[in-house]
Amino acid sequence: MIDDVNRTAGRSYGQFCALARALDVVGDRWNLLIVRELLAGPMRFNELKSSLAGAASNLLTDRLRDLEGNGVIERQLGDVGVRYALTSWGTELREAMEALGRWGAPLVMKGRHGDVFRARWLVPALPGLLRGATASPPVELGFEVEGSLVALRIDEDGPRAEIQPDERPSTVLSADPETVVGLAAGALTIEDAVAAGRPQGDVDVLRRAFPPGRRWPSPRPWAG
């Protein structure tokens, strides 16, 4: 408790550059993963802690304070306790994070190597990886992964996802994380995913959401 002043966010790069300033705010370890969690909705401290296994509670506290002080997240004091939520400015990180996720998609194609998984992470990931997809009339479907349901809706405005929706879509694909992530990343076709999972409802709805022919924009030398 010696000096808690000037505890903003680690060390600044000291550069007059928008990217460097952004990294001063969200570049520290765990910060963008906290934002990813909150992109699916507000969370309690212990929810964050359990979802971000590996982050110590003190570190999580530090990061939440930093992000709050910088206007990225806010503490909501409800009658049930403290909830953390993105501010409107924090929500605008979605575009950058979706772009980073698309860039990293080839890395998840190389398989899961004992990594942990949370269905909540699909909420920003699915729309990000399906960026540009539109459908009219809209397509509504769901993925059931490890007991959690993620709803995906594609309409004229593009794709959106939601965790634990109020009503269950009539078409749901139950599958394991490898299948759903691989499908979203383009490593699997919808036929692969349907074969590997347990489809419920109209398989043609799934085919509309994941038409064939999606390809990586450029070859990946290390993909072998």
Partner DNA sequence: CCGCATCCTCATGGATACTG
Partner DNA sequence: CAGTATCCATGAGGATGCGG
Residues in touch with its own copies (CB under 8 A): 13-25, 27, 29, 32-33, 36, 53-54, 71, 87-89, 92-93, 95-97, 99-108, 112, 114-118, 121, 124-125, 128-129, 177-178, 181, 185, 217-222
Among 15, 69, 71, 81, binds DNA (CB under 7 A): 81
Residue 139: CB atoms within 10 Å: 22
Q: Between vectors from CA 113 to CA 58 and to CA 122, what angle results, nearest 5°?
A: 70
19 binds DNA (CB under 7 A): no
By a kind-dependent CB cut-off of 5 to 8 A, residue 114 interacts, out of DNA, its own copies, none, with its own copies
47 binds DNA (CB under 7 A): yes
Between the alpha carbon of residue 133 and those of residues 46, 78, 107, 153, 200, the distances in Å are: 35, 37, 22, 11, 23
CA distance 189 to 184: 9
CA distance 64 to 34: 8
Among 15, 19, 21, 46, binds DNA (CB under 7 A): 46
Between the alpha carbon of residue 73 and those of residues 4, 49, 84, 187, the distances in Å are: 20, 16, 7, 34
69 binds DNA (CB under 7 A): no
Per the rule left: phi > 0, alpha: psi between -120 and 50, beta: everything else, 42 is beta
Structure token pair of residue 49: 């802690």
H/E element holding 173?
Answer: strand 172-174
75 binds DNA (CB under 7 A): yes
Segment near DNA (CB under 7 A), from 34-42, 79-87, 124-132, 148-156? 79-87
Among 42, 45, 162, 203, binds DNA (CB under 7 A): 45
CA distance 60 to 53: 11
111 binds DNA (CB under 7 A): no
Among 16, 54, 103, 215, binds DNA (CB under 7 A): 54
For residue 95, give the DSSP letter.
H
By a kind-dependent CB cut-off of 5 to 8 A, residue 221 interacts, out of its own copies, DNA, none, with its own copies
By a kind-dependent CB cut-off of 5 to 8 A, residue 56 interacts, out of its own copies, DNA, none, with DNA
Of 10 and 201, the one with the shorter C-beta distance to its own copies is 10
Among 41, 42, 62, 165, binds DNA (CB under 7 A): 62
Please tell me the count of residues contacting DNA according to CB under 7 A: 23
Between the alpha carbon of residue 42 and those of residues 37, 114, 119, 175, the distances in Å are: 8, 28, 15, 26
Interface residue list for DNA (CB under 7 A): 1, 10-11, 28-30, 44-47, 54-59, 61-62, 64, 75, 81-83
